[in-house]
Amino acid sequence: MKKFILAIAAAFMAASMVSAQDMAQATELYNNGATAISMKNWTEALDYFQKALEMGKTIGADADELVTNCKNAIPGVALEIAKDLIKDKKYEEAETKLAEVEKIATEYENAEVAERAKELVPQMWMQKGVDALKLKDFATAADGFAKSYAIDTTAGRAGLLLGQALGLFFWARLSAPRARPRRPSRLSSTPLGTERRLRPRSRCPISM
């Protein structure tokens, strides 16, 4: 009986040591994420927080605070990644990322970040349209304004700029110089071998 109790105690101590080691590792991952945030390395920070979160879930009650802190940090960090994609004009990737941010922020009950991610989508397409309009790329501008207006039909400015971009696009096409039709060649169409033969001129005899 005594040996059995000692075995249980040893197993409990071993489990406690493993749990403590896991907690230390999870805490280190979280701290690395915080350091990455201070350096504005959002992708690296997100990776650290996600790993710390997964490890914290396996630890149990001892890691409840760490898990909560990770859930508070992850949506905001993911939002910053989406903002960087917008700055780099990677609009399609940014739209996908913003959808992910809204989903995870809702799951982690971060209503502020979820709402911000939702608002950024039409604003992003609007910005694409404005930038293209400045460059007189009217087709791209119209595409951006159309996507923005489709998301938020109450945005009168997006609808107005869409009409303006389309008008400028069609006007540019109408004003573009048209290529002149090629004139038919003046070369003779007479088949080869049927050319008119020239008779040699008769020479007048030279009088002596």
9-20, pLDDT tens digit by residue?
A: 333 443 444 467
Q: What is the pLDDT of residue 102?
A: 97
Predicted pLDDT at 190: 53
Residue partners of 48: CB distance under 8 A and separation at least 6: 29, 30, 32, 33, 36
Return the amino acid letter for 59.
I
Task: Output the pLDDT for position 179.
Answer: 60
Distance between CA atoms of residues 68 and 31, nearest Å: 14
Kindly give the parts of the chain with pLDDT less than 50: 2-18, 204, 206-208
Instruction: Note the pLDDT of residue 188.
Output: 52
- Alpha-carbon distance of 7 to 188, in angstroms, equals 111
Write down the pLDDT at residue 194. Answer: 52
pLDDT digits (tens, 9 = 90+) for 75-108: 999 999 999 999 999 999 999 999 999 999 999 9
Residue 65: partners with Cβ closer than 8 Å, 6 or more residues away: none
- Read off the pTM: 0.73
So what's the architecture of 12-109 in CATH? Up-down Bundle (1.20)
